[in-house]
Chain A
Amino acid sequence: MTALSDVSTHAMASARWRIGEVAFWILALACAFLFPSRYLIMTDIVRLGLFALSLDLILGYAGIVSLGHAAFFGVGAYAAGLLALHGIINEPVIALVAAGLVAAALGFVTSFLVIRGVDLTRLMVTLGIALLLEALAERFSDITGGTDGLQGIEMQPILGLFAFDMFGKTGFFYSLIVLFILFLLARRVVHSPFGLSLRAIRNNPLRAAAIGVPVNRRLIAVYTLAAFYAGIAGALFTQTTALASLDVFAFERSADLMLVLVIGGTGYLYGGLIGAVVFKMLQELFQSITPQYWLFWIGLVLVVIVMVGRARIHRWVLFVPNLIIRQFAGRKAVVAVPESEAS
């Protein structure tokens, strides 16, 4: 009995909102007013952050390495595009949820394939599913528009009140609010007993099964949830840019996403969001230096991160923020490197 209450107090304590977290969201909101001319790229960052959050749910919390997460992004993007194009659901918020549900349905179906086998099989199956969908989208070009993508998507005002403007202001606030709501949900999920059991599975599936965690059912559930998140991110992409083309399924998108998560760190929810900011800034920087060959530098960053060691880099990155927090709050680091990295 005491052990149980220990676990619950510990879980409750770790689920409490910290000053750093509040500051993070205030900062995110402040960006909207500080850089009014950069709405488009900030929307990009928010979207990428949501997408990375989705991968973090399965990679950082459940330990599933996926090379084809773009599959769900793409399905969400096309679903939102088709819904808007054919006027089936005109209201963006409902369309967003609908697109997320379509992606979640796909995630649920494919999760049965993914939970089988070891890392390598999972890599191959996830990659295969993304490639399969890309091939399908190319094949049924009368529906998807083929390589040209979906043309002529017109978005209706959000909730019938806020029209999308050409500077992307509405789009940015819309994306930020969606991200915040989904973040709250994810935060609730990972701090729940369900989230704790996921971490148990990540650290040792056999042991988790031995103490009575239904491993496969938990994995299916979180995979479906992550697919829902990725679908929403894809739908946001279509809704804010009014286009959807074949490259939503591209392997590069899945690979970039891994980089985002690796920069920010896996296994804590802010990793994806911080990673998205850093990744986009790096990308901007490299693209301004060498417009054509920025891929080289992105690759170099990946290699260096792995060679130096992910855990070590996160300690360096978090050193300054933690120092500041310690000074002001006078207690231990708020954002710590998760005790055990996914392996």
Chain B
Amino acid sequence: MASILTNLFDGVAYGMLLFVLACGLAVTLGLMNFVNLAHGAFAMAGGYICAVLVNNSGWPFFAALPLAFVGSALIGIALERTLYRHLYSRSHLDQVLFSIGLVFMSVAAVDYIMGSSRVFIKLPAALEGQIDLFGVGIGRYRLMIVVICGLLTLGLQLILAKTRFGSRLRAAVDDPRAAIGLGINVPQVFAFTFAFGCGLAGLGGALSAEILGLDPYFPLKFMIYFLIVVTVGGSSSITGPFLASLLLGIADVAGKYYVPKVGPFVIYTVMIVILLWRPNGLFGRTAAR
């Protein structure tokens, strides 16, 4: 019983991590209808920024996390302004090719700069080990992830639903032309959202180094997971991708623990079945217009 609960908790932590990693993609892919396979590259950038700061410069872990966010967001906005911007109106094939190219470049560049072996981030002692909660062993690090990601999710939901920027973004997504007509600077809104999504991915990358592992092939290995979250979750709200990530996280952890030999098999099958059953995602209104 206790081990089931521990696994469930691990799954939830994993799922929340996936959500933070992928929710930026939910905006670019789901809302802006841009197939960005390079999303994992921004997550990897955040992870490596954090690793360099903590391991080489001796920064405390919690101080390095915001910088992982800022660093990835800056890279994101630089690329958005120079490259991505020109591709919004292109065909999906062009977008796929472009982002695959970016993934290849990022993989080789990180391999060149940082080496090809897995990188570990030194964690503060407070985050190591487990605590015992009603007889259920809970990893401290995972608890922290659940707390941080939970707060982020709440914050995102509030921003999207309550703030002026949130309503602008929703308007820009629903009908870009009408939004421009109303005086909303749509390219700016998109650029800012893109950068924010990249920043979140970077933060997720920094947090996930401990759990998912951080090496130059990160963007390729987890690309499918991000895509699953977005396509299965749909993009009409934040709740869809959130639930999809939780499902995926729990299913993946449980699959690896209880049926280790068919774990990935189950996930891909479930994904294909869901896509066939509801091509616009489980909770989605529309994934591609």
- Residue in A closest to B87 when the chains form the complex, CB atoms: A306
Check A121 against B96 for contact (C-beta < 8 Å).
no
B248-275 interface bits toward A, Cβ cutoff 8 Å, 1 = contact, 0 = none? 0000000000000110110011011001
A280-302 interface bits toward B, Cβ cutoff 8 Å, 1 = contact, 0 = none? 00000000000011111111111
- Contacting residues, chain A, for B227 (C-beta < 8 A): 123-124, 127
A135: interface (CB < 8 Å) = yes
- Contacting residues, chain A, for B83 (C-beta < 8 A): 303, 307
Check A121 against B231 for contact (C-beta < 8 Å).
yes
A152: interface (CB < 8 Å) = no
- Contacting residues, chain B, for A255 (C-beta < 8 A): 100, 104
**Given contacts A296-B112, A306-B101, A342-B93, are A139 and B265 in contact (CB under 8 A)?**
yes
Bound-state CA distance A256–B106 (Å) is 16
A183: interface (CB < 8 Å) = no
Check B272 against A123 for contact (C-beta < 8 Å).
no
- Contacting residues, chain B, for A293 (C-beta < 8 A): 108-109, 111-112
B: contact size bracket: 35 or more
- Residue in B closest to A138 when the chains form the complex, CB atoms: B264
B224 CB to closest chain A CB (Å) equals: 6
- Contacting residues, chain B, for A262 (C-beta < 8 A): 97
Q: Dominant SS at the A interface? A: helix
- Residue in B closest to A298 when the chains form the complex, CB atoms: B104
- Contacting residues, chain A, for B223 (C-beta < 8 A): 251
B42 CB to closest chain A CB (Å) equals: 15
**CB proximity to B under 8 Å, residues A97-150:** 113, 116-121, 123-125, 127-129, 131-132, 135-136, 139
Interface centre among A127, A259, A305, A306 (most CB of B within 10 A): A306
- Contacting residues, chain A, for B93 (C-beta < 8 A): 59, 65, 342-343
- Contacting residues, chain A, for B103 (C-beta < 8 A): 299
Bound-state CA distance A59–B94 (Å) is 12
Bound-state CA distance A325–B188 (Å) is 49
A153: interface (CB < 8 Å) = no
Interface centre among A123, A259, A301 (most CB of B within 10 A): A123
A150-166 interface bits toward B, Cβ cutoff 8 Å, 1 = contact, 0 = none? 00000000000000000
B220: interface (CB < 8 Å) = yes
Check B275 against A118 for contact (C-beta < 8 Å).
no
Check A136 against B231 for contact (C-beta < 8 Å).
no
Bound-state CA distance A65–B109 (Å) is 28
Bound-state CA distance A67–B35 (Å) is 12
**CB proximity to B under 8 Å, residues A232-280:** 251-252, 255, 258-259, 262
Check A343 against B91 for contact (C-beta < 8 Å).
yes
- Contacting residues, chain A, for B90 (C-beta < 8 A): 306
Check A296 against B92 for contact (C-beta < 8 Å).
no
Check B98 against A306 for contact (C-beta < 8 Å).
yes
Check B261 against A139 for contact (C-beta < 8 Å).
yes
A310: interface (CB < 8 Å) = yes
B182: interface (CB < 8 Å) = no
Interface centre among B94, B104, B269, B288 (most CB of A within 10 A): B104
Bound-state CA distance A302–B37 (Å) is 13
B contact set with A: CB distance below 8 Å: 29, 35, 83, 86-87, 90-94, 96-98, 100-109, 111-112, 220, 223-224, 227-228, 231, 261-262, 264-265, 268-269, 271-272, 275-276, 279, 287-288
Instruction: Taking A117-B276, A119-B92, A341-B91 as given, write out 8 further A-B residue pairs in contact, using a Cβ cutoff of 8 Å, ordered by the A residue number.
Output: A116-B279, A117-B275, A124-B228, A293-B111, A299-B104, A300-B101, A306-B101, A307-B98
